[in-house]
Structures are given as structure tokens and as C-alpha cells.
């Protein structure tokens, strides 16, 4: 059987596929057209965030049985089309948790202590110590949108800073949490009362543009927002306008509606913003973990018909 690996995974993951005697086709730097051609005769397809699996690709992949996403987000896969064809879509929901949570906290600290501005200024010969007075996280209120695994890891880390935690999750209630750790509220209350907001939800029809100009304007003028989840949950044009209009104090964004980002993205020239190129899951530990996990899942399904972390049931 043949496996297409169209994004970069680690040697540990590739070894699992090769040891199972799969014919592995690697196209981590292939164009969409090259990937579309290569998928036509494969039985399994391993991707990360760099490959967009369209309905047309799925329809042309006559032998395809499983698509494995090394990571959490699957908005780059046409799941209805895969389901219609009886193709299983799998992901690795647990492996990136620590990496994404730590990057979220790093972004919060970068914002609160003006680290990016200070670094850039010093490299230009400036010494703006008195102009870059920051703020402590202690006694500030953090609003966590999405209280799943990553949201809870962020909560644990930020409680160690002495922060007060508000949480919003449409699928969870206060009964599931200790009130001493987090108060579960609706999204409007969280938005209005948080000094920092972090986003940890998937991109769906209900979360797309969840933070538009109106919602951003209802935040405190001193508040900051961080997105290490998925591009599009915060409307990029609206965020740039909210920052330019002084509606909020700052933002840190790791994910974008179109990646890689070019200079036409409105956030590139927005004030008081920190941007990183989708680094939430980019640690050695996370990359190794998702590579091994998804390759094991794809192997086990194709050889033993074992389902693990399947997102659809054909």
C-alpha cells in the first residue's frame, strides 16, 4: 500500500510507515497541483497544516482510505467529502496541548512586558526603558474562550501567576470546574471583564469571526487578546481597525486566515501587535509526538482496521 506524506513530519514518524512496508511518497514542499496528482493512487494520506485537502482531490483519490492530520485542526480537510467517500479522517488532539498552552503564555508575557518592541528598538540603537513600562499578570483577569485541554492547561499556568480566571465554553458548565479555579460565564461577560483573552476553540461556522469589531470594541480599552487556535476566529480586518482605533491595548496572533501571510494582511502593519508564524505546535517535542501518533494511527487502520481519534464514521 502507498502512503502520501505531503507535509513535513519527523524521521520517527516516517520510520513507522516504512517499517510497516508501506510505499511512502514524500512531497513536503510540493505544489497543490503536485499533491493533487500524487494522491490519486494512495491508500493513506498524512498531512499537517500546509496541505489543503479539497473535495476534488478526494474524488480523484480512488484508493484513499484514511487521511491522517498530524495535529488538531482539520479545517484544511473537506470532511463531508471524505465521509461521502467512506474515507476516515483522523487527528491527534492531545499531543500539541502543552506546546500550544506554553506559546499562549509566552505571547501574553511578550505583550504585557513589551518584549517585542524592546527587542526591535535595541537592535536599532534605542534605549526606551522608560517608554516601555509594562504590566504584571498578577491580579489581572484572564478570559479563556474554550475550556478544552489547551484552555485548561493555560488556566493552570496562569493561576500560578496569580491571575483570576473566567471561562467560556458552550459545552461546559460550572459543575465541571472548581469555582476557586475558574468562573464559567457567558461570552459577553467574559469579553467585558477580562484584561487578557485567549482563544482555544476550533474554526467552525459558529466560531468564524467570533471576535468581530463589535465584540472587540466591547473589551476593556486596556485589554489584550491572544489567538493560538485558528485563523478566522478573530476577524483580521476588524482586529486591525480595533487596534488602530485604540479600542483594545494589544493583540498577539499566531494563526491566520491565509498562510503564509503576505504584506496585504491588515495585521502586518497594525499597531500594538505581536505576530508569529503559526508556532503554537512548533516544538521539537510536539512535532515528534504528532508525527509518531498519526503514523501509528494510519498504520493501525490500514493494517488492523483499528480506529483511533477518527473524526467521522463512514
230 is catalytic: yes
Which one is catalytic: 43, 215, 278, 299?
278
Question: Which residue shows C-alpha cell 467560556?
Answer: 168
Which one is catalytic: 230, 236, 296, 299?
230
Which one is catalytic: 37, 102, 189, 259?
259
CA distances from 215 to 63, 188, 202, 218 (A): 46, 8, 18, 5
Strand partners, 90: 68, 310
Gap between the Cα atoms of 198 and 209, Å rounded: 15
Q: Supply angle C-alpha 299, 304, 310, rounded to 5.
A: 65
259 is catalytic: yes
Strand partners, 166: 143, 183
Gap between the Cα atoms of 171 and 119, Å rounded: 41
* Catalytic (active-site) positions: 230, 259, 278
Amino acid at each position: 500500500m502507498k502512503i502520501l506524506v505531503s507535509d513535513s513530519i519527523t524521521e520517527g514518524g516516517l520510520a513507522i510507515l516504512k517499517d510497516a512496508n508501506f510505499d511512502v511518497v514524500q512531497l513536503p514542499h510540493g505544489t497543490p497541483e503536485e499533491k493533487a496528482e500524487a494522491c490519486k493512487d494512495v491508500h493513506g494520506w498524512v498531512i499537517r497544516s500546509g496541505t489543503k485537502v479539497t473535495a476534488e482531490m478526494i474524488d480523484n483519490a480512488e484508493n484513499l482510505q484514511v487521511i491522517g492530520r498530524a495535529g488538531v485542526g482539520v479545517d484544511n480537510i473537506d470532511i463531508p467529502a471524505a465521509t461521502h467517500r467512506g474515507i476516515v479522517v483522523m487527528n491527534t488532539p492531545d499531543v500539541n496541548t502543552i506546546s500550544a498552552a506554553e506559546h499562549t503564555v509566552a505571547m501574553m508575557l511578550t505583550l504585557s512586558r513589551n518584549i517585542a518592541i524592546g527587542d526591535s528598538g535595541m537592535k536599532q540603537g534605542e534605549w526606551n526603558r522608560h517608554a516601555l513600562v509594562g504590566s504584571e499578570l498578577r491580579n489581572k483577569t484572564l478570559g479563556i474562550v474554550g475550556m478544552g485541554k489547551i484552555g485548561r492547561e493555560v488556566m493552570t499556568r496562569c493561576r500560578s501567576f496569580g491571575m483570576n480566571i473566567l471561562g467560556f465554553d458552550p459545552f461546559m458548565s460550572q459543575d465541571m470546574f472548581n469555582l476557586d479555579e475558574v468562573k464559567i460565564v457567558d461570552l459577553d461577560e467574559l469579553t467585558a471583564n477580562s484584561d487578557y483573552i485567549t482563544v482555544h476553540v476550533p474554526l467552525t461556522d459558529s466560531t468564524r469571526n467570533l471576535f468581530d469589531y463589535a465584540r472587540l470594541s466591547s473589551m476593556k480599552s486596556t485589554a489584550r487578546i491572544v489567538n493560538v487556535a485558528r485563523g478566522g476566529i478573530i476577524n483580521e480586518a476588524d482586529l486591525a481597525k480595533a487596534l488602530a482605533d485604540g479600542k483594545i491595548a494589544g493583540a498577539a496572533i499566531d494563526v491566520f486566515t491565509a498562510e503564509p501571510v503576505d504584506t496585504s494582511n491588515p495585521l502586518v502593519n497594525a499597531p500594538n501587535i505581536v505576530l508569529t508564524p503559526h508556532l503554537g505546535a512548533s516544538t521539537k517535542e510536539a512535532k515528534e509526538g504528532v508525527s509518531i501518533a498519526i503514523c501509528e494511527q494510519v498504520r493501525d487502520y490500514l493494517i488492523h482496521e483499528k480506529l483511533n481519534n477518527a473524526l467521522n464514521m463512514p
